Structure 1
Amino acid sequence: MYKNSLRPGRVLAAVTVAQFVFALDMSVVNVALPAIRTALGFAPLDLSWVVHVYALTFGGLLLLGGRACDLYGRRRLLVTGLAVFGLCSLAGGLAQEPWQLVAARAGQGVGAAAAAPAALAMLTTTFTEGPRRVRALGVWSAANAAGGALGVLAGGLLTEYASWRWVMLVNLPVVAAALALLPAAGPAEERPARRERQAARERPDVLGAVLATGGVGLLVFGVVRTEARGWTAPATVGTLAAAAVLLAAFVVTETRAPAPLLRLGLLRSRWVAGANLLVFLAAAGQFAAFYFVSLYLQQVLGLGAAATGAAFLPFSAGLVAGTVVATRVTAARGPRAALVPGAVLAAAGLAWFAGIRPDGGFLTDVLGPSLVTSIGTGLVLAPVAAAATTGIAPHEAGRAAGLLNSSRQLGGCVGLAALATVAAHRTGTSTDPVALDDGYALGLAASAVLFALAAVVATVVLPRRRPDTPGPRPATPAEKQPEGTPA
């Protein structure tokens, strides 16, 4: 546990700002890609790596980042990760060559992989399980949702009225604000002598870290390349097969490791397993929906970058509204009470979205389904974090946070690649608005199916009872810490 002198309000403010900048960075770059290609001279097939390399390093290192923050201190990892993220954002904004921007994006992913699980773990260990934690997670989830949605608006405005470089440089003041808030949150974590002796005796799970990072990294790499090579290409099949082998070896290794990177026993909890499966499906549907709606607005309706960003404002408002409602429902009745109706509502909104027309408009084809989908998605985002950390002991908060972030990142990456392939197969090589509309509509319908499956998971897998008991199991002797010791 953290020391009592920590100020929960300042902790919440710091981790919320940190999560906002990570979510912002996931979407702010997308709208600027055409301008980046022109300015730096990217080859057409290389441009996608501006997005994909971030997903590759972020997704591949999240489990390692989650475990590291348990062993070496959450605030240490949060500060280090934020600093790396900020410096790489600066490097990206100053890039003069394509490889420099791609390298900077890779560095951003490394920093985010260290800081994101540390931020969530710091939040869950600062606020005890119950209504206070639910409210804190609600604020954190609202920042996550707002960052992702407002990133599209910010990307459009910055690209059109300033420069594409500002989609990278905009991160700097936000990172600076998060770092400035951390000292005000209370004294830094300490590692008592007992922890030092224990860490010296404990053999690090190096093999597990290598297998997990390599397996997840190859999975992301194989999936993102399907956009250019297809799912049945030998290179794709070989990469995904290698990823499967490494991940299977990781599972075997973790059952035998004395101090595993991911204790597989966590997944025996229906809260943890159900929440991670649910967030994988929801992220797959949400990321794909953002992608298809953005393309519909620009390539079918003919809106510019700034107008496209502005069109996402109702979506942002709906996400925040849904998160506020979900926080209240979860505090009163538990996560499941918000997750089930939220997933159903998001599925209904995306099914409505699938009716987009080539001769449509914002008011007739976008506004209504945007509000329904975003409110439903907001109802899912806050409770899923609460569900995934239910019953988790403080010494495993980083593991649980890294697992949840990995599930979200992998879901978004795999879902977007898979549904983009489905839409492209329907569209073919045509650039006619009618053909493009047909492909985007199919992709949105598939996103609706993913949220419907998420609703099934919430109904069937998550326990009906309201969670009110801590810890799925006691700590092992090697994992125990003295009372009052920071994790």
Structure 2
Amino acid sequence: MPIDRNHVSDNLRPDMVGTDGPTPDPPERDPRRWKALILLCMTGFMVILDSQIVILALPSIERDLAVSASASQWVLSAYMLAFGGLLLFGGRLADLRGRRLMFIVGTALFLVSSLLCGLAWSMGVLIAGRVVQGVSAALLAPTALAILMTMFPEGPERNKALAFWSGVGGIGATSALLIGGPITDTLGWQWIFFINVPVAIGMLVFAPILLLESRNDGPRAYDPAGALTSTLGLVLLTGAIVWAPTRGWASGAVLGMLLGAVLLLGLFVVIERRSAAPLLPLRIFQSRLFVGGNLAMILFAMTTLGMSVSVTAYAQRVLGYTSMEFGLGMIAMTLMTLVGAWAGQAGVTKVGFRPVAAAAAVLMGLGAFLLSQVSVQGTYFGDLFPGLLVFGLGLGAGPVAAISAALSSVEPDVTGVASGATNSGFQIGGALGAALISAVVVSRGGDSTAPEQMTEGFRAGFAADLVIALACLIVALTLLRPLTRQSSGDGAAVDPTEARRR
């Protein structure tokens, strides 16, 4: 019997299917889903925005709170540590306790922590607020993505929803550089936190109205040993990556954290293998698409944050741009990210994950190559604009394909923790990319005061970003290749659940 191309599962899209076979009927569509998507995308936007918007505000925070530059870095690091360390546990809580409930809890924490950060009268209070803000993000990010997967049935609609989610997330990353500087310069650094308050109130009002409640129907077993080891392991890993650029990869503190992370995450795997109700069911790693999608997401994040480090420093230190001027210059890349996300969702639906992810890696690599040609006497349109345009297209399309591939083979009862793993990969990948590119830039003279040496360092940083993009291309071509449906002896098609494991 020929496959109905309009109702085939995302896991077995035409690009992934080799032989004919029956497909399940699509689930009933929720009429609120598109309005709910606006709320979910706003959540993703704010989570990504708050991870980076403080970057351009750090000098003002240092002056107002009378702290050193090294102390102010904790404003950024505290959020990243709490966010990256608790993503798996946050996703699993959503699976077990209810995704809408955890979304509301996370939003309430987001509201309180944003107020605390904006009203902070000391560095200790501000860092504490950022920790709570990171905890709220660890609840919100995987929960929102899991709700999206629940409300949108497999197929073109889910691809479009994921495109909006990814595109808005990419805009959040670029908007942090776009609006962080102007808000700090005009209203004060406190307002980069206060702007979250009305957004959080709106989220609290509309979440009970628009979002479906869903949870795992199985027993509520929380796997405390797995939660503890994974959280501590991810915190140590994220901390090592965040502090490596300033303390050095060979420093005792960084090496100690890396060793601790390896031991704890190894112990986590042992615990999960033996647990009757694991925090992260290891069977999901049997899926090549889940592994490949997450690796691609890590590399896309590395490329994106690595490029941001170099382009921000080059524009301000070599070209002499103010934070507001640089933010306005990022509008072009932000718009192209939207275009890329829309094109990416259409491509995933029509041709599959691999071609879209590969094309995105090529575009980001080409953008990095164009940026690697920057000069000491450079101009925005001559040195930055072409590279930002091309890079933005890839940034919009790549995460759409990576997320779609990673979550296409995940069973409904673990969408929360699987979404947490994907978000964790993005956070760790971003931190690792920023750390590695910073190290390359510094090693080639990027911390010099001479414009020529600084430019040479930034060129090397963009070139290293190109290498990461090429690694992403290899992952896309090898691990995101189409699934093939094999037939049993009587000619019946393999069950889709079995196909997910290939």
TM normalised by structure 2 equals 0.89
CA contact (8 A) 1:2 1:125 kept: no
Report the CA distance between 1:183 and its aligned residue: 2.4
Structure 1's 269 and 11: CA in aligned 2 closer, same or farther, altered over 3 A?
same
Report the CA distance between 1:471 and its aligned residue: 4.0
Corresponding residue of 2:111: 86
One-letter identity of the residue aligned with 1:267: F
CA contact (8 A) 2:294 2:403 kept: no
Of 142, 145, 152, which residue of structure 2 is paired with 1:120?
145
Structure 1's 50 and 470: CA in aligned 2 closer, same or farther, altered over 3 A?
farther
**Are residues 1:44 and 2:73 paired?**
no
For the residues of structure 1 that align with 2:469 and 2:241, how far apart are their CA atoms? 20
For the residues of structure 1 that align with 2:382 and 2:388, how far apart are their CA atoms? 11
For the residues of structure 1 that align with 2:448 and 2:223, how far apart are their CA atoms? 50
Of 449, 454, 475, which residue of structure 1 is paired with 2:472?
454
Corresponding residue of 1:178: 203
CA contact (8 A) 2:100 2:211 kept: no
One-letter identity of the residue aligned with 1:363: F
| Partner SS for 2:256 | helix
For the residues of structure 2 that align with 1:250 and 1:37, how far apart are their CA atoms? 38
For the residues of structure 2 that align with 1:474 and 1:338, how far apart are their CA atoms? 20
Of 252, 265, 270, which residue of structure 2 is paired with 1:247?
265
For the residues of structure 2 that align with 1:428 and 1:341, how far apart are their CA atoms? 31
CA offset digits 1:66-110 (Å, max 9, x no partner): 111110111111111111112111111111111111111111110
Corresponding residue of 2:102: 77
One-letter identity of the residue aligned with 1:145: G
CA contact (8 A) 2:229 2:267 kept: yes
For the residues of structure 2 that align with 1:328 and 1:157, how far apart are their CA atoms? 35
CA contact (8 A) 2:102 2:143 kept: yes
Corresponding residue of 2:306: 288
Corresponding residue of 2:235: 217
Report the CA distance between 1:244 and its aligned residue: 0.7
CA contact (8 A) 1:78 1:114 kept: yes
CA offset digits 1:1-37 (Å, max 9, x no partner): 9997672123212211111111111221111111111
| Partner SS for 2:333 | helix
CA offset digits 1:127-166 (Å, max 9, x no partner): 1111111011111111111111112111011011111111
Structure 2: unaligned runs, 5 residues or longer: 1-25, 486-493
Aligned ranges 1:58-73 → 2 under 5 Å:
58-73=83-98
Report the CA distance between 1:470 and its aligned residue: 5.0
CA contact (8 A) 1:94 1:165 kept: yes
Structure 1's 471 and 144: CA in aligned 2 closer, same or farther, altered over 3 A?
farther
For the residues of structure 2 that align with 1:428 and 1:135, how far apart are their CA atoms? 41
CA contact (8 A) 1:14 1:179 kept: no
May I ask how many residue pairs the two structures share in their alignment?
A: 468
Corresponding residue of 1:228: 246
The two structures, once aligned, show a CA RMSD in angstroms of: 2.2
Corresponding residue of 2:33: 8
Report the CA distance between 1:391 and its aligned residue: 2.2
For the residues of structure 1 that align with 2:189 and 2:97, how far apart are their CA atoms? 37
| Partner SS for 2:437 | helix
For the residues of structure 2 that align with 1:337 and 1:175, how far apart are their CA atoms? 37
Structure 1's 131 and 64: CA in aligned 2 closer, same or farther, altered over 3 A?
same
One-letter identity of the residue aligned with 2:161: A
Corresponding residue of 2:155: 130
CA contact (8 A) 1:93 1:168 kept: yes
**Are residues 1:337 and 2:362 paired?**
no
Structure 1's 155 and 430: CA in aligned 2 closer, same or farther, altered over 3 A?
same
| Partner SS for 1:302 | coil
Structure 1: unaligned runs, 5 residues or longer: 476-487
Percent identity at matched positions?
33
| Partner SS for 2:184 | helix
One-letter identity of the residue aligned with 2:160: R
Structure 1's 242 and 186: CA in aligned 2 closer, same or farther, altered over 3 A?
closer
CA offset digits 1:223-276 (Å, max 9, x no partner): 212122101112211111111111111111111111111111111111100000
Q: Which moved more, 1:420-429 or 1:325-334?
A: 420-429
CA offset digits 1:365-397 (Å, max 9, x no partner): 000000011101211021111111112211011
One-letter identity of the residue aligned with 2:379: G
Corresponding residue of 1:279: 297
For the residues of structure 2 that align with 1:13 and 1:445, how far apart are their CA atoms? 37
Report the CA distance between 1:451 and its aligned residue: 1.1
For the residues of structure 1 that align with 2:69 and 2:197, how far apart are their CA atoms? 29
One-letter identity of the residue aligned with 1:23: I
For the residues of structure 1 that align with 2:419 and 2:138, how far apart are their CA atoms? 11
Structure 1's 4 and 429: CA in aligned 2 closer, same or farther, altered over 3 A?
closer
Corresponding residue of 2:173: 148
For the residues of structure 2 that align with 1:5 and 1:290, how far apart are their CA atoms? 38
Corresponding residue of 2:387: 369
Structure 1's 466 and 164: CA in aligned 2 closer, same or farther, altered over 3 A?
farther
Corresponding residue of 2:441: 423
For the residues of structure 1 that align with 2:343 and 2:468, how far apart are their CA atoms? 23
One-letter identity of the residue aligned with 1:235: A
Corresponding residue of 2:80: 55
For the residues of structure 2 that align with 1:442 and 1:474, how far apart are their CA atoms? 41
Structure 1's 471 and 172: CA in aligned 2 closer, same or farther, altered over 3 A?
farther
**Are residues 1:169 and 2:194 paired?**
yes
Corresponding residue of 1:26: 51
Q: Which moved more, 1:55-64 or 1:155-164?
A: 155-164
| Partner SS for 1:262 | coil
Structure 1's 458 and 51: CA in aligned 2 closer, same or farther, altered over 3 A?
same
TM normalised by structure 1 equals 0.92
